[in-house]
C-alpha cells in the first residue's frame, strides 16, 4: 500500500513537471511566433473582400486596445472618427483621392486626428523644437497599435495619407484644434498582397 502511494506520487510529479515544462516552452513559442506572424503578415491591403463585415463590437475592441499606446506625458492626443454606416462610408470613400478604388470593399473607414498643443507642450509652450510634431508622433504610435491589433484580430488595413482633410473635417465636424492625419481602412483582404522591398538593413541602422 505504502509503495503504491509513493509510486503514484512520483508518477504524478513526473507527469506534472513534464507537462509544465512543455506548456511553458509551448506558451513562450506561441506568443513570440504569433507576434512575429502579426508583424510579418501585416501588409497594406488595397483590395478588400466586400462580402465580409466587421461589427461595432469588434471596432470597439480594436480601439480599446489602441488606448494602450504610449504618448507624450500620457496626453493621449489621438482621436478617431469611425465611418461604418453606408452614408458615412460613401462620403469618406470620395475624400481619399485615388485610394477610393483600393478601399471600396472595406466595411470600416477610420479618420485619425490629434489634438494640437498637448503632446510636446508644457504649460502652453512647446517643450522643444518639434512642437506639435510630437502630436503627430503619438498619432503614428496609436495608428501603429491599431494596424497591428487589427491584424491580430484577423483584419487588414491601409493607412492613407492621401485624403482631403478640410472635407473630412466637415463630414465629422472635427474641431479646429485637431489636426486631421491619416484615414485607415479596416476590412478583410481579398487576395495576397505583393511583398514590399526593404532598404538594406545597414543603410538604416548604425550601431556604435
Ligand X SMILES: Cc1cc2nc3c(=O)[nH]c(=O)nc-3n(C[C@H](O)[C@H](O)[C@H](O)COP(=O)(O)O)c2cc1C
Binding site residues, ligand X, CB under 6 A: 43-44, 46, 99, 102, 158-162, 182, 196
The distance of closest approach from Cβ of residue 198 to ligand X in the complex, given in angstroms and rounded to an integer, is 9
Which three-class secondary structure state does DSSP give residue 199?
A: coil
The distance of closest approach from Cβ of residue 103 to ligand X in the complex, given in angstroms and rounded to an integer, is 9
Q: The C-alpha cell of 64 is what?
A: 480599446
Which residue's CB is nearer to ligand X, number 46 or number 116?
46
Residue with grid cell 489636426, as numbered in its chain: 179
Residue pair 105/50 in contact by the 8 Å Cβ criterion: yes
Phi, psi of 181, rounded to the nearest 5 degrees: -105, -130
Residue nearest to ligand X (CB): 161
Residue with grid cell 514590399, as numbered in its chain: 196
Q: The C-alpha cell of 41 is what?
A: 503578415
The distance of closest approach from Cβ of residue 46 to ligand X in the complex, given in angstroms and rounded to an integer, is 6
Which residue's CB is nearer to ligand X, number 124 or number 161?
161
The distance of closest approach from Cβ of residue 147 to ligand X in the complex, given in angstroms and rounded to an integer, is 8
Which residue's CB is nearer to ligand X, number 201 or number 208?
201
Cα–Cα distance, 59 to 10 (Å, whole number): 50
Name the percent of the chain in helix, strand, coil, to the closest 5. 50, 15, 35
Which residue's CB is nearer to ligand X, number 92 or number 160?
160
Which residue's CB is nearer to ligand X, number 3 or number 198?
198
Terminal C-alpha separation, the chain: 68
The distance of closest approach from Cβ of residue 99 to ligand X in the complex, given in angstroms and rounded to an integer, is 5
Amino acid at each position: 500500500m505504502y509503495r503504491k502511494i509513493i509510486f503514484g506520487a512520483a508518477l504524478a510529479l513526473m507527469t506534472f513537471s513534464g507537462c509544465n515544462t512543455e506548456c511553458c516552452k509551448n506558451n513562450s513559442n506561441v506568443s513570440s511566433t504569433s507576434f512575429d506572424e502579426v508583424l510579418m503578415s501585416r501588409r497594406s491591403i488595397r483590395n478588400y473582400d466586400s462580402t465580409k463585415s466587421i461589427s461595432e463590437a469588434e471596432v470597439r475592441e480594436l480601439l480599446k486596445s489602441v488606448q494602450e499606446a504610449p504618448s507624450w506625458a500620457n496626453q493621449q492626443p489621438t482621436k478617431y472618427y469611425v465611418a461604418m454606416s453606408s452614408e458615412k462610408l460613401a462620403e469618406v470613400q470620395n475624400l481619399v483621392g485615388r485610394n477610393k478604388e483600393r478601399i471600396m470593399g472595406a466595411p470600416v473607414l477610420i479618420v485619425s486626428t490629434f489634438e494640437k498643443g498637448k503632446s510636446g507642450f508644457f504649460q502652453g509652450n512647446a517643450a522643444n523644437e518639434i512642437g506639435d510634431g510630437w502630436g503627430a508622433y503619438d498619432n503614428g504610435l496609436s495608428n501603429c497599435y491599431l494596424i497591428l491589433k487589427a491584424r491580430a484580430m484577423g483584419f487588414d488595413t491601409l493607412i492613407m495619407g492621401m485624403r482631403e482633410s478640410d472635407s473630412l473635417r466637415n463630414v465629422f465636424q472635427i474641431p479646429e484644434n485637431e489636426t486631421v492625419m491619416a484615414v485607415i481602412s479596416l476590412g478583410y483582404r481579398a487576395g495576397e498582397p505583393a511583398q514590399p522591398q526593404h532598404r538594406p538593413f545597414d543603410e538604416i541602422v548604425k550601431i556604435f
